[in-house]
Chain A
Amino acid sequence: MKRTNRILTTLIFIFLYIPMVVLIVASFNTGKDITQFESFTFKQYVRLFQDSSLLQLLGNSLIVSILASFCATTFGTVAALGIHNLNPKMRKAAMTLTNIPMTNPDIVTGVSLSLLFVFVGTRMLGQRNSLTFWTLLIAHITFNLPYVILNVMPKLKQMDKSLTDAAMDLGCTPVQAFFRVTLHEIMPGIVSGAIMAFTMSLDDFVISYFVSGLDFVTLPVEIYSYTKKPLQPKIYAMFTLLFLLILVLMIAMNLIQVYGDRKKAHSRTAGI
């Protein structure tokens, strides 16, 4: 039983990661054909860094992801605080409301946001190009918010409620109490929320496709238009780099959590 279990788990992992392995191998291939590995080369990486339009696209994606995750983290943390301070019934309702957009199909979110932006842009603001960098950014912030709230809420719940009372008892206004005490307590949740928002933003295609205009396009949206022709191998190189970036972020996030838990566990045992 245990044996089959272990074999099954291994198989699942192989299955999960084999596409990435294929991609990475392809990025080091001299030949254009993925089905045939000719010889090892860094040439695709050199080409990637010579292709300014591709780098520009990557830059666009990073700008949107960083800005969107930063804003979403700020607003999401504030929203989580607000929700946390509601009475239990309202809190439950608010959490359901934040969860719905996450389970909503991306295409529905994308189309409805697009309709909204076009309506507001052309009808109310009288613009011709209503889909711009800003609509893209707003859309990304919108779909990132629930992930931040979902990561911050449990930390707020875990926090000893009397800590904020204690801070106010010692002279803090509610705002000071937040920055001096609450923020430190919920920091792990904020960090993991921010990382999750960043990765969601970086790889979003569907929503971005509907809300971006012609003058500002992100990497996934542009790549999609390439797929009608065969993909150039330098794109494999870029994907490999992106995969590594996400991998590093995820490992960092896990390390932060493990380290935090261990520190707590360690001090517990020392305390008793």
Chain B
Amino acid sequence: MSKELIRLQDLTVEFDGERILDGINLYFNDHEFLTLLGPSGCGKTTTLRIIGGFLKPTSGTVTFDGKKVNDVPPYQRQINTVFQRYALFPHLDVYDNIAFGLKVAKLPKDEIKRRVSEMLEIVSLKGYENRSVDSLSGGQQQRVAIARALVNRPKVLLLDEPLAALDLRLRKDMQNELKRIQQATGITFIYVTHDQEEALSMSDTVVVMDKGRIQQIGRPEDIYNEPKNAFVADFIGESNILDGVMLQDYKVRFFGRVFDCVDKGFAPSENVDVVIRPEDIDIVPPEQGHLVGTVTSITFKGLNYDIIVEFKGFKWLIQTTDYHGVGSVIGIRLNPEDIHIMHKSEYSGMFGDYSSYSAEYDELTEDAADEEAE
């Protein structure tokens, strides 16, 4: 059983009276790969800066290994950081950048040399020792930043959107590389990203944040399959979110029809949000369907088609491998395990209707979000 290493308790941060973090409670286990996931501006970097010691919380405590460390400066914490834009020292070459921490710690020359070349090997930058860091590509700078942090053998490594500036292909390679390094070294990784796919594929634990608050903490599978509210359901993957009424345990009513489901523990007749993932929906001939709707648009996505289907004025996104032309009438069936029930929250009604959905629009907003994050 891994032990707890860092704990954030009732953490709040305010800048000029504006609340940036609002009651964060979170603990980090030794050897864990934990990801803070959320849209740009939700407070991820701020949380990381508190853990690193660069920022003092307005209130709340930070403990490291059981000791309160609110007032411990960054240079006395056994934590190293890979910064959002790498923050490599421009006046030093690759070798001296990586050796920086060891030189400050006044380690013997030959040990520095040994550890730096070991690190260069790990991040595959052998032969780049004397290159100026400005002459490296983004991916190479990234690896120098990782090496510069890891060479100090910290207990915890903080990574702030380390792959955001890389192209897709390189990003995928680096994801695997980082996961491999984390497993090989056993160092606790606290990773920040706004990319949900990245978070799900790399992490042991995912913490979903929005507006300075934690929305959900869990394993990637749990976050995906059992989102706690409409925000999480929408942010992690695509979701159709509808209004429903929980009649009793395992029975939910929506679209004027009662469905079997696998959720329980709600108040009788509680109003709920119902989540149905686009890839879980089975398309059947209209006469066999629980619901019957009309296809209003279809987009080829490579692995599948995204189709928008209108049911009584509400538009759903459905992913299917079969072609259904615009205007065709289809039926759908929902199995109990395809239906996920959530309590109503402040996010109810904000997400999950695909009325305004268009593939291009979606890509545009994603690009904008990416740019903002950079």
Residue-wise interface mask of B (74-118) relative to A, using a CB-CB cutoff of 8 A (1 in contact, 0 not)? 110001110111011111000000001100110000000000000
Given contacts A168-B73, A170-B80, A173-B75, contact A184 B91 (CB under 8 A): yes
Q: Check A160 for interface membership: any CB of B closer than 8 A.
A: yes
Given contacts A170-B104, A171-B152, A173-B75, contact A165 B90 (CB under 8 A): no
Q: Shortest beta-carbon distance, B16 to chain A, in Å?
A: 9
**When the two chains form their complex, are residues A172 and B89 in contact, meaning their CB atoms are under 8 A apart?**
no
Q: Which of B100, B137, B138 contacts A170 (CB 8 A)?
A: B100
Give A173 to B76 CA distance when docked, in angstroms.
9
**When the two chains form their complex, are residues B104 and A172 in contact, meaning their CB atoms are under 8 A apart?**
yes
**When the two chains form their complex, are residues A170 and B54 in contact, meaning their CB atoms are under 8 A apart?**
no
> Which of A6-14, A123-131, A264-272 is the interface stretch?
A264-272
**When the two chains form their complex, are residues B134 and A264 in contact, meaning their CB atoms are under 8 A apart?**
yes
A232 CB contacts on chain B under 8 angstroms? none
Give A109 to B141 CA distance when docked, in angstroms.
51
Nearest residue, chain A, Cβ from B104: A171
A267 CB contacts on chain B under 8 angstroms? 132, 134-135
Residue-wise interface mask of A (167-178) relative to B, using a CB-CB cutoff of 8 A (1 in contact, 0 not)? 111111100100
Chain A, 254-271, CB within 8 A of any chain B CB: 264, 267-268, 270-271
Give A169 to B135 CA distance when docked, in angstroms.
24
Give A43 to B286 CA distance when docked, in angstroms.
112
Residue-wise interface mask of B (54-81) relative to A, using a CB-CB cutoff of 8 A (1 in contact, 0 not)? 1000000000000000000111000111
Q: Check A106 for interface membership: any CB of B closer than 8 A.
A: no
A271 CB contacts on chain B under 8 angstroms? 134-138, 141
Interface-central residue, A168, A172, A184, by most chain B CB under 10 Å = A168
B87 CB contacts on chain A under 8 angstroms? 160, 162-163, 165-166
**When the two chains form their complex, are residues B81 and A166 in contact, meaning their CB atoms are under 8 A apart?**
yes
**When the two chains form their complex, are residues B134 and A162 in contact, meaning their CB atoms are under 8 A apart?**
no
Q: Check B38 for interface membership: any CB of A closer than 8 A.
A: no
Given contacts A166-B81, A169-B81, A171-B75, contact A176 B104 (CB under 8 A): yes
Q: Check A181 for interface membership: any CB of B closer than 8 A.
A: yes
A165 CB contacts on chain B under 8 angstroms? 52, 54, 74, 81, 83, 87
Count of chain B residues with a beta carbon within 8 Å of a chain A beta carbon: 30
Give A162 to B104 CA distance when docked, in angstroms.
18
**When the two chains form their complex, are residues A160 and B85 in contact, meaning their CB atoms are under 8 A apart?**
yes
Q: Check A180 for interface membership: any CB of B closer than 8 A.
A: yes
Q: Check A203 for interface membership: any CB of B closer than 8 A.
A: no
Nearest residue, chain A, Cβ from B152: A170
Q: Check A185 for interface membership: any CB of B closer than 8 A.
A: yes
Q: Shortest beta-carbon distance, B373 to chain A, in Å?
A: 15
Q: How large is the interface on A (under 10, 10 to 19, 20 to 34, 35 or more residues)?
A: 20 to 34
**When the two chains form their complex, are residues A162 and B135 in contact, meaning their CB atoms are under 8 A apart?**
no
Given contacts A162-B85, A163-B89, contact A169 B136 (CB under 8 A): no
A184 CB contacts on chain B under 8 angstroms? 89, 91
Given contacts A185-B90, A271-B135, contact A171 B105 (CB under 8 A): yes
Give A184 to B90 CA distance when docked, in angstroms.
9
Interface-central residue, B54, B89, B138, by most chain A CB under 10 Å = B89
B135 CB contacts on chain A under 8 angstroms? 267, 270-271
A185 CB contacts on chain B under 8 angstroms? 90-91
B52 CB contacts on chain A under 8 angstroms? 165, 169
Interface-central residue, B54, B90, B137, by most chain A CB under 10 Å = B90
Given contacts A163-B89, A169-B80, A184-B91, contact A268 B134 (CB under 8 A): yes
Q: Check B148 for interface membership: any CB of A closer than 8 A.
A: yes
Chain A, 205-246, CB within 8 A of any chain B CB: none
Nearest residue, chain B, Cβ from A169: B81
Give A123 to B330 CA distance when docked, in angstroms.
101
Chain B, 136-167, CB within 8 A of any chain A CB: 136-138, 141, 148-149, 152
Give A272 to B134 CA distance when docked, in angstroms.
9
Given contacts A168-B75, A171-B75, A185-B91, contact A180 B132 (CB under 8 A): no
Residue-wise interface mask of A (134-175) relative to B, using a CB-CB cutoff of 8 A (1 in contact, 0 not)? 000000000000000000000000001011011111111100
**When the two chains form their complex, are residues B134 and A270 in contact, meaning their CB atoms are under 8 A apart?**
yes
Nearest residue, chain A, Cβ from B158: A169
Nearest residue, chain A, Cβ from B84: A162
Interface-central residue, A165, A167, A169, A271, by most chain B CB under 10 Å = A169
B141 CB contacts on chain A under 8 angstroms? 271
Nearest residue, chain B, Cβ from A159: B90
Interface-central residue, A163, A166, A170, A271, by most chain B CB under 10 Å = A170
8 contacts between A and B (CB under 8 A): A160-B85, A160-B87, A162-B87, A163-B89, A168-B74, A171-B75, A176-B104, A271-B134
Closest 3 CB pairs of A and B: A267-B134, A170-B101, A162-B87
For the complex with contacts A162-B83, A163-B87, A166-B89, 10 further pairs of A-B residues with Cβ separation under 8 Å are A165-B87, A166-B81, A166-B83, A166-B87, A167-B100, A173-B75, A181-B91, A184-B89, A264-B134, A267-B134
